[in-house]
A and B are shown apart, each in its own frame.
Chain A
């Protein structure tokens, strides 16, 4: 453990309070920023080093910049509120508590890239948010008209499909089709919804841009660590005495996280939901939460899902649950994912029942790795994250 701690360059757990600070100054923030040039706003975002908070971590400023530079008769801004990753529940909280931050951010983005239309793709499970969100949109649009800013926002409801959180599957869904991911490239920045340049950002990412446009990029940049600037909302669940949503600076060590949120018996933490990584206790010291690019140790990105497991939990049951989830939610379009998820699930069951010997697990690990290289989208590509990290670290639990 000592060695691990030496290697770690993370900071202690630092709480922050930006996201849920009142949004009642949104009219000022909107007006102020619509008076700046698109370039100024893009540069503000780029210098904040904000990266996408949905999990993938693409630099937000760059995303806006690419779309802004493309000429097209029509462009779109979409807020991805298809929050479906197991263990994530922060976006709902943002949309119910500070909706005007998100709406303002969508409008500023539209101004930057030259879009007249924005959408919020809200997952079907959150239907109960719709009425309040629509009232907020009505008020917001009234103000836009008042200040002469030609822009409208519509809510598009999902209907229970995890895969639609994948941006190109989301476009397909909005276009009235099965939510099957497209090949990339082209990327949404140049060809997204209706094959028009589209900026699609996670709810939380948009809420952070509000912070940046309100206080300036420095305030944001000064938080977090190198490569992982700013704060992040964490959805904490599982075996913890205090489940809930917490805003923390990026770059904390998993040791400190578990110290704060664990129940003194934490065996492993699932970072990033079912599509993320399971970190066993022995790896806590060398693991920090943030984006890749650190010089030492392991850095794990996350859409904010942090699920804690204590020693009473069977990691076999956890993996079985994840694989059922993936097998059901795979869109079925590409073979590696459709068949791979089912075979992994069948495989671990066969090993558990003793129908296959332990060495079969190695074959399954190879299959998972193959999926990483061959699956069409992030769903199939990331099944190996949890699969391999669980099987490799808790092999005996898979067998006995």
Chain B
């Protein structure tokens, strides 16, 4: 993995050092690091010549820009109305039981973080969740256990498999 300061410089060169490049740069760091450390944010501030408070204030506004250390795979389970009606709670229990973590926590091996999120736009295929950028829909407790198992087994590079449905 690229050192953070190099990554930030490269992102700034690619997107430009304008204020309007802030979000793409923050997103680029999160893509690699999964979260924004204080160090990342001050580095970005220096790179763009912005007050660190401005960077922090902007970054913490957005729910997909985490500022706490996250696992390699971030699970975001939708909790908005239709998913909630269609058994989101059962899915949540299944995940919690399998990974032995609660919402907001990360597994000790640093592989999974569990979060809840608002409407993912898959209400017709509820319940739905994201694992990093992959969408999983029409979840059942069995299905979610299979999905997590496949991530655990692959445990190496980025998994891109099982039941990815886009529509």
Is A89 a contact partner of B80 (Cβ separation < 8 A)? no
What is the 8 Å Cβ interface bit string for chain B, positions 74-93, against chain A (1 contact, 0 not)? 00000111101100000000
Contact of B26 among A126, A129, A159 (CB under 8 A): A159
Contact partners of A321 in chain B: CB under 8 A: 79-81, 84
Contact partners of A127 in chain B: CB under 8 A: 133
A68 to B130, CA, bound (A): 41
Given A176-B21, A176-B22, 11 more A-B residue pairs with CB atoms under 8 Å apart are A84-B118, A84-B121, A86-B82, A89-B124, A97-B167, A125-B130, A128-B166, A173-B23, A176-B23, A179-B61, A194-B20
Given A86-B80, A176-B23, A321-B80, verify A126-B121 contact (CB < 8 Å): yes
The distance from the CB of B128 to the nearest CB of chain A, in whole angstroms, is 10
The distance from the CB of B126 to the nearest CB of chain A, in whole angstroms, is 7
A129 to B85, CA, bound (A): 27
Contact partners of A88 in chain B: CB under 8 A: 119, 121, 123
Is A322 a contact partner of B124 (Cβ separation < 8 A)? no
Report if B143 contacts A (CB, 8 A): no
Is B125 a contact partner of A307 (Cβ separation < 8 A)? no
Is B64 a contact partner of A159 (Cβ separation < 8 A)? yes
Contact of A243 among B19, B63, B123, B167 (CB under 8 A): B123
Stretch at the interface among A234-242, A336-344, A356-364: A234-242
- Can you list 17 A-B pairs, Cβ within 8 angstroms, ordered by A? A86-B81, A86-B119, A86-B123, A96-B166, A124-B27, A128-B133, A128-B134, A156-B24, A159-B27, A175-B19, A176-B18, A194-B20, A238-B123, A243-B124, A309-B85, A321-B80, A321-B84
Contact of B24 among A157, A177, A307 (CB under 8 A): A157
Given A128-B134, A128-B135, verify A175-B20 contact (CB < 8 Å): yes
The distance from the CB of B49 to the nearest CB of chain A, in whole angstroms, is 13
Contact partners of A179 in chain B: CB under 8 A: 61-62
Report if B122 contacts A (CB, 8 A): yes
The distance from the CB of B84 to the nearest CB of chain A, in whole angstroms, is 6
Is A87 a contact partner of B82 (Cβ separation < 8 A)? yes
Contact of A176 among B19, B65, B134 (CB under 8 A): B19
What is the 8 Å Cβ interface bit string for chain B, positions 96-112, against chain A (1 contact, 0 not)? 00000000000000000
Is B167 a contact partner of A84 (Cβ separation < 8 A)? no
What is the 8 Å Cβ interface bit string for chain A, positions 104-145, against chain B (1 contact, 0 not)? 000000000000000000011111110000000000000000
Is B19 a contact partner of A161 (Cβ separation < 8 A)? no
Contact of B119 among A87, A174, A270 (CB under 8 A): A87
Number of A-B residue pairs at CB separation under 8 A: 130
Report which A residues bind B (CB closer than 8 A): 83-89, 92-93, 96-97, 123-129, 156-162, 173-180, 194, 235-239, 243-245, 270, 274, 307, 309, 313, 317-318, 321-322, 325, 328-329, 331
Is A96 a contact partner of B62 (Cβ separation < 8 A)? no
> Which A residue's beta carbon lies closest to that of B134?
A128
Is A160 a contact partner of B64 (Cβ separation < 8 A)? yes
A88 to B122, CA, bound (A): 8
Is B20 a contact partner of A161 (Cβ separation < 8 A)? no
Give the most central of B81, B122, B130: most A CB within 10 Å: B81
Is A160 a contact partner of B63 (Cβ separation < 8 A)? yes
Is B167 a contact partner of A87 (Cβ separation < 8 A)? no
Contact partners of A96 in chain B: CB under 8 A: 166-167
Is A93 a contact partner of B167 (Cβ separation < 8 A)? yes
Contact of A125 among B22, B26, B120, B166 (CB under 8 A): B120
Given A128-B135, A176-B21, A235-B123, verify A325-B118 contact (CB < 8 Å): yes
Sorted nearest first, the 3 A-B pairs with minimum C-beta distance are A176-B22, A160-B64, A243-B124
> Which B residue's beta carbon lies closest to that of A328?
B118
The distance from the CB of B7 to the nearest CB of chain A, in whole angstroms, is 17
What is the 8 Å Cβ interface bit string for chain B, positions 48-76, against chain A (1 contact, 0 not)? 00000000011001111100000000000
The distance from the CB of A54 to the nearest CB of chain B, in whole angstroms, is 14
